[in-house]
C-alpha cells in the first residue's frame, strides 16, 4: 500500500505541478483553517487520517476516516485533482446513495465528496481528472470507465487509507 502511494506521488509530481502559492499548516485537527494566502510554498498538509470512534449504540468502536475540512474549503484545483486521482483507486468509506443501481453510478465516497467530485466513477469525477491529466496517456488509460472501481465500504476485501499527507515543494506536489 505504501509503495503504491509513493508511485502515485511520483506520478502526481510529474503530471500535476502546482503553481499555487497558498498553503495551510499541517496540524492534525479536522478543523484546520483554510489556505493562507501568504504562507510559504514549502509545506505539508495532513489531509486524511483515521480515528477510532464509537458507533451510535456505543457498543462498537470503528476506525473512521477524518478529513481536514478547513483545507478542503479552499483547496486549489491542482491539489484537488491530485488527491482525487489517488482516491479513485483506494476505498474511502464509500456507501451507496440509496440502493445500488445496475450501472453502479451512485457510490458516494468520503474523499471524493470532500473534494466536491461527485460519485465514484461519475462524469463529474472522471471528467475533472481527465481534464487535469489530459497530457498523461498513462493516467488517462487508468481513468477509463472500465478501470474505475466501485467497491462499497461493506466489501469483504478492499484497500483503504490510513492517512494522506500532501507536500508542496516549490512547484512540485507529493502525496504520501
pLDDT in tens, 29-83: 333 334 433 345 788 999 999 888 887 776 788 888 899 999 999 899 999 999 9
Q: For position 176, what pLDDT does the model report? A: 92
Average pLDDT over residues 112-130: 95
Whole-number Cα distances in Å, 7 to 4, 61, 84, 98, 159: 5, 32, 15, 35, 16
pLDDT in tens, 72-113: 998 999 999 999 999 998 878 889 999 988 888 899 999 999
The three grid cell numbers given for residue 25, joined into one nine-digit string: 499548516
Domain borders along the chain are 2-175
Q: Which helix (H) or strand (E) holds 66?
A: strand 61-67
**This prediction's pTM:** 0.73
The three grid cell numbers given for residue 141, joined into one nine-digit string: 488509460
Amino acid at each position: 500500500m505504501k509503495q503504491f502511494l509513493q508511485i502515485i506521488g511520483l506520478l502526481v509530481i510529474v503530471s500535476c505541478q502546482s503553481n499555487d502559492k497558498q498553503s495551510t499548516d499541517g496540524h492534525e485537527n479536522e478543523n484546520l483553517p483554510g489556505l493562507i494566502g501568504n504562507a510559504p510554498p514549502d509545506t505539508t498538509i495532513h489531509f486524511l487520517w483515521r480515528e477510532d470512534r464509537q458507533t451510535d449504540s456505543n457498543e462498537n468502536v470503528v476506525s473512521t476516516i477524518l478529513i481536514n475540512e478547513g483545507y478542503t474549503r479552499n483547496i486549489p484545483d491542482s491539489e484537488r485533482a491530485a488527491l482525487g486521482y489517488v482516491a479513485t483507486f483506494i476505498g474511502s468509506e464509500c456507501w451507496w446513495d440509496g440502493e445500488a443501481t445496475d450501472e453502479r453510478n451512485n457510490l458516494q465516497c468520503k474523499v471524493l465528496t470532500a473534494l466536491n467530485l461527485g460519485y465514484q466513477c461519475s462524469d463529474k469525477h472522471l471528467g475533472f481528472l481527465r481534464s487535469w491529466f489530459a497530457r498523461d496517456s498513462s493516467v488517462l488509460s487508468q481513468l477509463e470507465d472500465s478501470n474505475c472501481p466501485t467497491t462499497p465500504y461493506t466489501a469483504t476485501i478492499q484497500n483503504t487509507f490510513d492517512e494522506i499527507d500532501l507536500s508542496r515543494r516549490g512547484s512540485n506536489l507529493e502525496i504520501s
